[in-house]
Amino acid sequence: MQVTVNKILDAKGLACPMPIVKTKKEMTALDPGQVMEIQATDKGSTADLRAWADSTGNQYLGTIEEGDVLKHYLRKASAEEEKSESKHPDVANLEELLNRLNGSEKITILDVREPAEYAFGHIPGSINIPLGELEERFEELSNDAEDLHIICRTGSRSDFAAQKLTEKGFKNVKNVEPGMKDWHGPIDKTH
């Protein structure tokens, strides 16, 4: 399959949120309707870029795998298609989450990182559903969960997940920022 692209962005070797950060910056240089190819090696970049495109009105066209490189294709939205990037309004910081865990409050923690990230350290008792699988697996979560705290590495993927779950009717959904990269609470490394 041959895809005509107007811009190629090299995001190989970068971890979340950098592929999206670079994509946002480079997308501004494109004209509406033009296509950008983003080359990445971060497995989570597929779900991240798809969610970002959805939240901004840009079109995620698809991803082609070539060895270890993922080639993502995005089409820039026209002014009519574009929407301002939305953020989930209900946010919790790491200290709040740690205090809730140390208290006797009943909360649910959803970790939307990839399985390998989760395996190398996660909050004890958290549920792992990668962002890219959330659409097919959201029913594994209780819709009447007391408080649903969503976490990833930086707060980007969890923001997209929080928006999706709120759209699905989940209540009391909180995006945890900045994420596991700055977490100093208990860590479970069992697989």
Q: Which residues are catalytic?
A: 16
How many CA atoms, within 13 angstroms, populate the side-chain half-sphere of residue 148?
25
How many CA atoms, within 13 angstroms, populate the side-chain half-sphere of residue 29?
9
Residue type at 9 in one-letter notation? L
Query: Tokens standing for 182?
Result: 């700055």
Q: Is the dihedral of CA 74, 78, 80, 86 positive or negative?
A: positive
Q: At what angle do helices 45-56 and 18-27 cross, to 10 degrees?
A: 40
Query: How far does CA 71 lie from the centroid of its chain?
Result: 18
Cα(108)–Cα(112) distance, integer angstroms:
13
**Among all chains, which residue has been given the structure tokens 């939305």?**
86
Closest to 74 measured CA to CA, from 100, 41, 38, 106: 38
User: At 151, which helix (H) or strand (E)?
Assistant: strand 148-151
- Answer for the pair 64, 71: CB distance below 8 angstroms, yes or no: yes
